[in-house]
Amino acid sequence: MIEWRERHISEKQLVLLLSFFVGVFCSLAATLLKSFIHLIQQFVEVHLIADSHTWWYLITPIIGITLAALFVRYIVRDDISHGITKILYAISQRKSIIKSHNMWSSVVGSGLTIGFGGSVGAEAPIVLTGAAIGSNLAKAFRLDQKTMMLMIGCGAAGAIGGIFKAPIAGLVFTLEVLMLDLTMTSVAPLLISSVTATVFSYIATGAEPMFPLSNYEAFSMNRIPWYLILGVVCGFTSLYFTRGMNSMEQWMKHKIHSIGMKLLVGGVVLSVLIFLFPPLYGEGYDVIRQLINGDSLSAIENSPFSSLGSADYVIVGYLVLVILFKIVASVATNGAGGVGGIFAPSLFMGAIVGFVTARLLNMSGIVVPESNFALVGMAGLMSGVMHAPLTGIFLIAELTGGYHLFMPLMIVSVVSYLTIMLFEPHSLYAMRLAQKGELLTHNKDRNVLTLLKMDSVLETDLTVVFPEMTLGELVKVISESKRNIFPVIDHDGRLRGILLLDEVRNIMFQPRLYKRFTVNQLMTSPPAILRFDLPMDKVMEIFEDTGAWNLPVVDQDRRYLGFVSKSKIFNSYRHVLVHFSEE
């Protein structure tokens, strides 16, 4: 099969053909996931809650999280949370290879979690599914790393196009969020995957937008100041979303070690929050539809606070609490063992932030359209959380059919993005990898250094010497070596120092000194010692700070592994740069 393809189909033709099939498979995966979620939701609503047994809302999310956790632990046996972060990690650190089980495991895990009421979204899992489809198709046809990276992008674009029916958003999401530094020739496969997935989703579920608008007002220039205010509010809410979610995830990860205890704590917290705030149940898309179409009263129904009435301050106060607790509910869902992403939570919170801002302005006597603000608020929060203003603009326009509101979408998205950039240089997706130096960005120099690994530049042909060796024994070693650096190690393999040929050149031809000096007396400390797990950009910083050209490398127990030279890094850098700059 591979040999026939190499003889009859060029690589460019193959990439275009594979991008089409990636789009088809992504659409199929998105349709299956949405159908699976709706099937479970229908079962819960018809058979469990139909007779007003609303206390089932306290139980069903725990059921879903438990089933998802058991599925991941005993069937998948791998971590499938944080889908977008996993894609970024695969691109940066795993040569664009994504495990084959990700083509289906996220669909099952997120379907169970969300179908039973987990307060997360299905979009990040389906993006991971699409990226895995692209990666494994490229791997099956033995394509190189650069092309595999492109196919991951095709999978992500197809997933967004398929689940949201948003082809342009699929393209810009790949460029902004996955941060692929692609050439113009790479755009065609991305478009093919995105458009193909969207078309097949139209065939499966119809061409109507996910959130059709029935109540909106045309853009008015005199409302620009209020949209600017909304952009700033969305930016600070995005900051709360990013830092709050990251802090709570770290707390659950490091403070609660027992899987059973995580399930108990997360399940109880989620159930209590859903009981108090029913809008936190599931993805929250029904609440979004209500707000962008002017039905704010439905959001407070069936909650313990509904007895307080329907005054403006009650609705605003209730929705502010929903905003504050949404990230708690999402972290509780994922931290307890559920599978889901932050697409839906960011859209959900954005719609509420936009509506609350508009309602407060209206309460103060400034008349603004609440439906418009709820709509553009979604774009503002998504832009801030994902650091992707273009994705926010085009996704909300395509989700709602609100192309006539491009101006407010652009204003709010850009202002939100600029606001959060003052405080957070990376999105929630990229934050963990950036802190470890494992993130690819649009900075080509940093990308190349990120792609370089220590084992690819490590030199192991240096002759080691021991501290107790005499100068005479050392001279014999020097005569047989082709290098002028000699690592000094003890008998446990730990690095003690280095010995430079220049340091012994003046005495090595004096036989009378051969037994007087030992290596321990002649060795020196290296300017710095590199750990094997250091990212390459940190290695280069150490080289620059010390002015050295060669540095030893050790493992975490200080056992000697080899040397790295600046010239070897430069040669490898040029090789990788040429490879990824080819059209």
pLDDT tens string 102-160: 999 999 999 999 999 889 988 889 999 999 999 999 988 888 878 888 899 999 999 99
Lowest mean pLDDT of 118-122, 190-194, 219-223, 448-452, name the range.
448-452
User: Residue range 373-399: average pLDDT?
Assistant: 93
Which amino acid, 258?
Answer: S
Average pLDDT over residues 498-513: 81
- Burial degree of 58 (CB within 10 A; 0-12, 13-18, 19+): middle
DSSP string, 304-365: GGGGG-S-HHHHHHHHHHHHHHHHHHHHHHHHTT---BSHHHHHHHHHHHHHHHHHHHHHTT
For 243, the enclosing helix (H) or strand (E) is helix 224-255
Judge whether 364 and 394 are in contact, CB under 8 Å. Answer: no
Given a cut of 60, whether residue 415 has pLDDT beyond it is: yes
Q: Mean per-residue pLDDT for 306-333? A: 88
Is the separation of the CB atoms in 154 and 189 below 8 Å?
A: yes
Q: Identify the pLDDT of residue 7.
A: 65
Q: How confident is the model at residue 51 (pLDDT cuts 50, 70, 90)?
A: low
Share of the chain above pLDDT 90, in %: 40
**206-257 per-position pLDDT tens digit:** 888 888 877 778 888 899 999 999 999 999 999 999 999 988 988 888 888 8
Mean pLDDT for the chain overall? 85
**Which one is predicted more confidently, 465 or 578?**
465
pLDDT for residue 443 = 47
Rounded Cα gap, residues 44 and 486, in angstroms: 70
Question: What are the angstrom distances between the C-alpha of 516 and each of 70, 123, 469, 470, 511?
Answer: 68, 72, 11, 7, 10
**Other C-beta atoms within 10 Å of 229: how many?**
17
Q: Which of 13-17, 306-310, 312-316 has the weakest average pLDDT?
A: 306-310
Task: Read off the pLDDT band of 442 (50, 70, 90).
Answer: very low
Rounded distance between C-alpha atoms, residue 382 and residue 169, angstroms: 12
Q: Are 451 and 460 in contact (CB under 8 A)?
A: no
* pLDDT reading at 327 higher than 50: yes
* Residue that is written with structure tokens 């018809």 in the block: 46
Task: Over range 66-79, report the average pLDDT.
Answer: 90
pLDDT mean over 195-214: 88
Three-class SS state of 296? coil
Query: Distance between CA atoms of 81 and 86, rounded to whole angstroms?
Result: 8
Are 388 and 180 contacting, i.e. CB atoms less than 8 angstroms apart? no
Confidence of residue 55 (pLDDT cuts 50, 70, 90): confident
Q: Which of 98-112, 281-295, 308-322 has the highest mean pLDDT?
A: 98-112
Distance CA 155, CA 137 (A): 10
- Residue of 280, 379, 281, 365 whose CA lies nearest to 322: 280
Please give the pLDDT value at position 254.
Answer: 81
In tens, the pLDDT along 520-574 reads 888 888 889 898 888 777 888 888 888 888 899 998 888 999 998 887 777 665 5
By DSSP bridging, strand 495-500 and strand 530-531 are unpaired
98, amino acid identity = I
Domains in the chain: ranges and CATH: 2-205 (1.10.3080.10), 221-442 (1.10.3080.10), 446-581 (3.10.580.10)
- The total number of residues shown for the chain amounts to 583
pLDDT at 35: 93
How far is Cα 6 from Cα 89, in angstroms, rounded to an integer?
30
pLDDT at residue 452, as a whole number: 63
pLDDT of 441 strictly over 50: no
**Do 134 and 22 contact (CB within 8 A), yes or no?**
yes
Looking at the predicted structure, is the pLDDT value of residue 266 above 60? yes
